Amino acid sequence: MNPKMMVGPLLGVENDSVYTVCFLSDGTVDGCDLFVNDAKMASFRKIADTYSGQFWRAEFLVTAGSSQAWTYEIQSNGTRFQGASGASRWTFHVPGSSEKPRIGYASCNGFSSARQIKRTGEPYYLWKQMCQQHETGPLSLLIMGGDQLYADEIWESSLAPTIAKWSGLSRSSRISCKVGVKISKELNRFYETLYVRRWSNPQMAHMMASVPTVMMWDDHDIIDGWGSYKPDLQGCEVFAEIFRVARRYFELFQLRSRHNNALLNAPAHGSFGLRFHDYLILGLDNRSERTRNQVMSPSHWDDVKVWLQSQSGWGGNFVVLSGIPVAYRSFASVEAVFAATSWEEELEDDVLDHWSARDHQGERMRLIMNLMGFVGESGCRGIILSGDVHVGGLGVIQDTRNDLEIHQVISSGIVHPPPSAFEWLGLQAVTSDDKERIGNGQITTEMICPFGSDKYIRARNYAVLEEGTDNKVWVSWICEGDMKPEYGIP
């Protein structure tokens, strides 16, 4: 029997020279090897047994010289593995030492309801576009900034019938429910199957095998609104088990396991930092420790601060992943309505998710001041990459006293559809687009208009970042439809 690859291969990068290949096999594999450019490069290490498979990881070194293509394959007992795209050999582009890499960015890779799937004619249209674009102008890195899949179906999934039944209980019964082996097994089956099904699209699988990725999760990778539920529900045993299992599969598939060399503090959270050519990349885990009152714990902030200090003097591009936009429309008015009533609105957790929510404003200021301090001391260009809101956009955060600024690119979503015209009018009616002054007024945030589109890009999209000869990082939003927004970050 030939060994079967259930997910993968997943090509990753953990600094300029350390690349990884990971994949999920069925349970029949007893060992496998990585061949790069037709030479055996490494033996895979089994990192974990999952519900029905085995997760494997291999590292190898890449030296940057002239721009070139590298080809790899995975063999077990002389037999090549075949991926979801049908290929058994994969090629990726390594930028030369003097080359400016092209970097892709995407988020919101799924659907939050069956209704959205039905009304979307070609769900993976933009993945197909990315494949075609990659053939003519290869990407050197793909950053995925949250909601790499949507676990919202957990409440009615046949894979987790006990959870579906639990979700229909009274609130007090849900909170007091104990977790047993049956629930744990169902959750492991659910999350493993979710990755297998959602990442098996041929175009998506081809890109994840052909472009090294770095990823950071957001709420839908766990459940919608994770961390913004009321404490009694957030702290109950079933929610804790949902988080534990979701985090396990996130660490395997998205972080490429806790062996990832870029992790700042693997046991505590998933934040990471790495250098990739002219880019210094900081991925912030804003979910592992999130509550209504906290985005990241004090020790987590210390880990970030220590890492930033270790990168002192960086003069290139500084990219920060924040799943939720730091600059966006203000939800203060609708949050005030929630605070003044006893309603538990369906959208309450989404409103409280935002950095601008009252209980998170102090941490947002802490984030901004830490990033502004690093940009000011290093003299680098600061860029925040965000998603979540299902529209594209461009924001700018300014420190008027020190004449510093950080631009924010929102790309959302590559699969999830944008709000309808009616939904967007409703959102505009209850939110504000005014320029915001925070702290003592020296920090401002606002949304600005890219060239070639409205201020908000209400179309499915992904972004490409590429440094031009004018010393700007040009951001191009690749959209479904006719819009071609772009902007040069100075």
Identify the pLDDT of residue 86: 86
Alpha-carbon distances of 488 from 18, 145, 395, 413, rounded to whole Å: 30, 21, 13, 21
CATH of the domain at 135: 3.30.750.180
Mean of pLDDT values over 249-264: 97
The total number of structural domains that make up the chain: 2
Name the H helices within 87-160. Answer: 114-118, 125-136
Residue 192 lies in a domain: no
Instruction: Convert the pLDDT of each residue in 173-212 to its tens digit.
Output: 999 999 999 999 999 999 999 999 999 999 999 999 999 9
Instruction: Convert the pLDDT of each residue in 43-96 to its tens digit.
Output: 999 999 999 999 999 999 998 776 688 999 999 988 899 988 889 999 999 998
Contacts of 290 (CB under 8 A, 6+ apart): 226, 227, 228, 296
- Statement to judge: residues 3 and 133 lie in one domain: no
CATH of the domain at 16: 2.60.40.10
What residues are paired with 70 via a beta bridge?
92
Supply the DSSP string of 321-377, one letter for each residue.
E-SS-SS--B-HHHHHHHHHS----TTHHHHHHSTTSGGGHHHHHHHHHHHHHHHHH
- Say yes or no to pLDDT of 377 above 70: yes
Residue 179 lies in a domain: no
HSE at residue 208, side-chain half, CA atoms within 13 A, is 28
- Statement to judge: residues 61 and 107 lie in one domain: no
Range of the domain at 436: 100-149+199-217+254-489
Instruction: Convert the pLDDT of each residue in 326-373 to its tens digit.
Output: 999 988 766 655 554 444 545 556 778 889 888 999 999 999 999 999
List the 141-144 sheet strands across, edge first: 45-49, 54-61, 18-25, 5-13, 213-215, 141-144, 103-106, 461-467, 473-479, 486-489
Instruction: Convert the pLDDT of each residue in 2-49 to its tens digit.
Output: 678 999 999 999 988 899 999 999 988 989 999 999 999 999 999 999
Identify the pLDDT of residue 179: 93
- Statement to judge: residues 429 and 342 lie in one domain: yes
Q: Cβ-count burial of 181 within 10 angstroms (0-12 exposed, 13-18 middle, 19+ buried)?
A: exposed
Kind and range of the H or E run holding 385: strand 381-386
Q: How many residues in the chain?
A: 490
Name the H helices within 29-178. Answer: 114-118, 125-136, 161-167, 171-176
CA angle (385, 387, 391) in 5-degree steps: 120
Q: Are 217 and 285 in contact (CB under 8 A)?
A: yes
- Say yes or no to pLDDT of 382 above 80: yes
- Statement to judge: residues 74 and 121 lie in one domain: no
Mean of pLDDT values over 297-315: 96
- Statement to judge: residues 52 and 69 lie in one domain: yes
Identify the pLDDT of residue 342: 47
As a whole number of Å, the CA-based R_g of the chain is 22
Residue 311 lies in a domain: yes
Q: Are 338 and 351 in contact (CB under 8 A)?
A: yes
- Statement to judge: residues 284 and 139 lie in one domain: yes
